[in-house]
Amino acid sequence: MTSAVSIEALTKSYGKLEAVRGISFEIGSGEVFGLLGPNGAGKTTTVEILEGYRKRDGGTVRVLGEDPERAGTEWRQRIGVVLQSSAVYTTLTVREMLALFAGYYRKPRPVDEVIELVGLMEKRNTRIKSLSGGQARRLDLGLALVGDPELIFLDEPTTGFDPGARRAAWATIRALRSLGKTILLTTHYLEEAEQLSDRVAVLREGRIVAHGRPADLMGRSRGAEIRYLRDGEEVVVKTDEPTRTLHELTAQALDAGVELEGLEVRRPTLEDVYLSLTEQDDETVLS
């Protein structure tokens, strides 16, 4: 697997604030990589270093074989960018804006195809200032795709979307993946990372605290939770051996002739793992 992005011991500080404290990861060509973490964890700083906006303090960075700090317009032909906030000319129509950006690239995708792909067909002749926030965000995605890049950076592409719009954006991102594009996605929505990413890295305070396939991350945490009601109060039993514990519990209940109201066995979700990893005071998880 050739890597589209590789980062080794990357560091970046703003004055006294150490935003990124030595992170390393690789993104394979054609992979969707999710960078997860709460606000201020260093996601955007990392992505903006990869996009060539910021100079790093230390470490090595390679994006499509080049150092983004020195990369030129040829390199920019091959990347697509969705910034954290929408950046568009509000007086143009959707189609005019995409056509303007398409002209910057040597081999752009046909503008109407891009409009279709991001689901703005009905709005193609609408002035951008009258788009909704979600529609403007889809236009941002379209602008990132119009140059037909190999590598696409999506910095919180669906923040502020309603659930329907989010699912539509996911479908678009999956379509890009099936075209063989490499995608770096930052998000603080776990479900999004879980749905879209081949691998994720969880950032916390400028460090990677977990790294792997979403399923592996979930598998990392021990055991399961068994919940039921006793005299109207919820009882939670945490166990590494759910089969045995459940058997014992139900056996006791049968002997006593009582019903375990609201009985539920739950595997931890990625959300539980994420919360335990990003919890500020939970030092044990770090080690």
Partner 1 sequence: MRLFFHELKGEQLLYWRSREAAFFTFIFPLLLYVLVSAFYTGDIYGQPAGRVLLAGLLGYGAATTSFAGIAIFLVIRRENGVLKRLRATPLPPAMYIAALLGSTLLVFAIEAAAMIGLARVTYHVGVPDRLGSLALSLLLGAAAFAALGIAMAAAIRSAEGASAVVNLVVLPMAFLSGSFGPTRHFPHVLRAIADVLPLTYLVRLVRSAIVFDQPIWHEPGAIGVVAGWGLVGLVLAVWAFRWEPSESG
The C-alpha angle with vertex 185 and arms to 59 and 47, in degrees rounded to 5, equals 30
- What one-character DSSP code corresponds to residue 51? T
Q: Are 90 and 144 in contact (CB under 8 A)?
A: no
- What one-character DSSP code corresponds to residue 108? P
Shortest distance, position 100 Cβ to partner 1, whole Å: 5
Q: Does 90 bind partner 1 (CB under 8 A)?
A: yes
Shortest distance, position 79 Cβ to partner 1, whole Å: 7
Report the residue from 83, 201, 217, 249 that binds partner 1 according to the rule CB under 8 A. Answer: 83
Q: Does 216 bind partner 1 (CB under 8 A)?
A: no
End-to-end CA separation in angstroms for the chain: 30
Q: Are 269 and 253 in contact (CB under 8 A)?
A: no
Which residues from 23-82 bind partner 1, rule CB under 8 A? 51-53, 73-74, 76-77, 79, 81
- φ, ψ of residue 225 to 5 degrees: the values are -120, 135
Residue 96-115 contact track with partner 1, rule CB under 8 A, x = bound: x---xx-xxxx---------
Long-range contacts of 161-166 (CB under 8 A, 24+ apart): 161/134, 161/137, 162/134, 165/134, 165/138, 166/192
Report the residue from 60, 85, 130, 132 that binds partner 1 according to the rule CB under 8 A. Answer: 85
Say how far apart CA 167 and CA 263 lie, in whole Å. 32
Residue 114-153 contact track with partner 1, rule CB under 8 A, x = bound: -----------------------------x---x------
Which one, 53 or 189, has the nearer CB to partner 1?
A: 53
Report the residue from 46, 86, 172, 197 that binds partner 1 according to the rule CB under 8 A. Answer: 86
Kindly list the residues in this chain that would bind partner 1 in the complex (CB under 8 A): 51-53, 73-74, 76-77, 79, 81, 83, 85-92, 96, 100-101, 103-106, 143, 147
